[in-house]
Structure 1
Amino acid sequence: MDTVTLAKRRYTTKAYDASRKIPQETIDALLEQLRHSPSSVNSQPWHFIVAQSDEGKARLAKATEAFAYNTSKILNASHVIVFATRTDMTEAHLEAVLAQEGADGRFRDEPGRVMQDQTRRSYVNLHRFDQKDLQHWMEKQTYLALGTALLGAVAHGLDATPIEGFDAKALDAELGLREQGFTSVVLLSLGYRSQEDFNAGLSKSRLPTEDVFTFL
C-alpha cells in the first residue's frame, strides 16, 4: 500500500477494544522500525518504555489524573509507548553512538570516524552553548521518532493515539526516568479501535493544497 493511502487512513483513535491484543511479531516489527527512526546527526537522544501488561499500563495511567479523558486510551490499548528524551547529551551517550556506528561499518577509515564525531559534537555544542536550546532540540528528534511510529502503526493495521495530555513530572517519578537521565515527552497508545470510537467514522479533514504549499 502506498504511503499516501496510509496517511489518509491514519487517524487519532479515541476508544480501544480492550479485548484485542497486538500479535508479538507485529509489535516487534513496529519497535524495530521505531529503533531506526531518523535523528539529527544520528544523535538518537531517546529511550522508549513499552507498557504491554495491565500492571504496566496502570502505572502510566496514574499520570492522567488531571487528564481523565486519556485514562481509558491507556488502559484499554494493547500497548502504550512512552517516548522519553535525554535530559542531557552526555559524553557516555556520544561515545556509545560513535562506537555503534563503528561496529555497524559506518566509517571507511579513521578520519571518517573522527569527522563524524566532531560534526555531531559541533551540533550538540551549537544547541548547548550558542542557541541554548539543547533540550528542545533533543525533544524535536524524539518527535521525529513519533512520526515514524505513527506511519508504521497504520502500515501494520494498528490504531494509534499520540497523547500529550499527561503529567510528565508524575510519570517521570513513577518510572524513575530523571534519575536515569530522561524525561517523558509524549505517549503513544496502540491497539485496535472500539466500535464506540466516534472518530473512526468521521471524514479526514486537512487544509487544501494551495493553502499549505508554496512552490518556488
Structure 2
Amino acid sequence: MHILDAARQRYATKLYDPARKVPPEVVADLLEVLRLAPSSVNSQPWHFFVAESAEARDRIARSMEPRNPYNADKTRAASHVVVFCARTHLPDAHLDNVLAHEAAAGRFASPEARAQRTAVMNEYVRLHQETRHDGPEWTARQVYLALGFFLLAAASAGVDATPIEGFNEAALDEDLNLPAQDLRSLAIVTLGYHADGDLNATAAKSRLPKDEVFTFL
C-alpha cells in the first residue's frame, strides 16, 4: 500500500474481531520496523513487550480496569498487543552495547571515527540527563517516534491498530517488573482486524485543513 493511502485509511480501531489473527510473518515485519525505528543519536532507549496469547493479553488488559474497561475489551479481543516502554536512564552499559553493535555493522572507518561517535553520543546523553534534567522526557520522545513508525507500518500492511494511553502505568509497571529493569511503560498498541460493528471503520477522517497546519517560509 502506498504510504499516503495508508495514512488516509488508518484509524484508531474501536472493536476487534477476536477470531482473526495477524499472520506471524506480518507480526515479524512490524516488530522489525520497531527495531529499525530512528532515535536521537541512535540511543534506542526502549524495550517492547509483545503479548499474543489470551493469557498475556489479559495480563495487559487488567492494567486498564476499572477506569478504562473499553480499552481492556479491545486488548482482550485484539490479535497482538505491544507495550511500549522507555528506559528510565541510559547507563554506560547500554550506550556501550549500542556502540558495539554499530562497530560490528561496520559503521566506523577508523578508531578515531568510533571515538568521535562515542563522544557525540555521550555529549547528548549528558545534556539531557545532567544539564537539562529532562532525560525521561527525552527518552519518551524517542519511543513515540517508534510508535508513529509502527502505526503507519501496520496500516501499510493492512493491519488495524489502536494506540492506547488509558491504562494504569504503575500497575502495569509493577506487574511486568519494569522498575527492576530500569523501564517504564508509556503506551500500548493493539493489533488485529476490526469487527463488522466497528463504527469508527466507516467514520470520515477529520483533520485540520492544510492552511491551518502548514506555514511555508
Do Structure 1 and Structure 2 share a fold, with TM-score over 0.5? yes
Tell me what 1:48 maps to: 48
Amino acid aligned to 1:25: E
Tell me what 1:73 maps to: 74
**Distance in 2 (alpha carbons) for counterparts of 1:113 and 1:179:** 31
The CA deviation at 1:193 is: 0.2
Note the alpha carbon deviations across 1:166-201, whole angstroms, 9 max, x for none: 001000111111111101000000000011111001
SS of residue in 2 equivalent to 1:113 = helix
Tell me what 2:128 maps to: 127
Specify every segment of 5 or more residues in structure 2 that has no aligned partner in the other structure, as ranges.
Answer: none
The CA deviation at 1:82 is: 0.3
**Distance in 1 (alpha carbons) for counterparts of 2:36 and 2:169:** 25
The CA deviation at 1:2 is: 2.2
Amino acid aligned to 1:116: R
Amino acid aligned to 1:45: P
SS of residue in 1 equivalent to 2:15 = coil
SS of residue in 1 equivalent to 2:161 = strand
Note the alpha carbon deviations across 1:91-150, whole angstroms, 9 max, x for none: 110110000000111111111111111101111111112211000000000000000100
Amino acid aligned to 1:159: D
The CA deviation at 1:210 is: 0.4
Specify every segment of 5 or more residues in structure 1 that has no aligned partner in the other structure, as ranges.
Answer: none
Q: How does 1:127-206 map to 2 (within 5 A)?
A: 127-206=128-207
The CA deviation at 1:34 is: 1.1
Tell me what 2:94 maps to: 93
**Contact 2:2 / 2:156 at 8 angstroms: preserved in 1?**
no
Amino acid aligned to 1:161: T
Give structure 1 regions of 4+ aligned residues with deviation exceeding 3 angstroms: none
**Distance in 2 (alpha carbons) for counterparts of 1:44 and 1:97:** 8
Give the superposed CA RMSD.
Answer: 0.7
Amino acid aligned to 2:212: D
SS of residue in 2 equivalent to 1:80 = strand
**Distance in 2 (alpha carbons) for counterparts of 1:130 and 1:179:** 25
Amino acid aligned to 2:64: T
> % of aligned pairs identical?
49
Relative to the length of structure 1, the TM-score reads 0.99
Amino acid aligned to 1:10: R
Amino acid aligned to 2:3: T
Relative to the length of structure 2, the TM-score reads 0.98
Tell me what 2:39 maps to: 39
SS of residue in 2 equivalent to 1:115 = helix
**Contact 2:45 / 2:142 at 8 angstroms: preserved in 1?**
yes
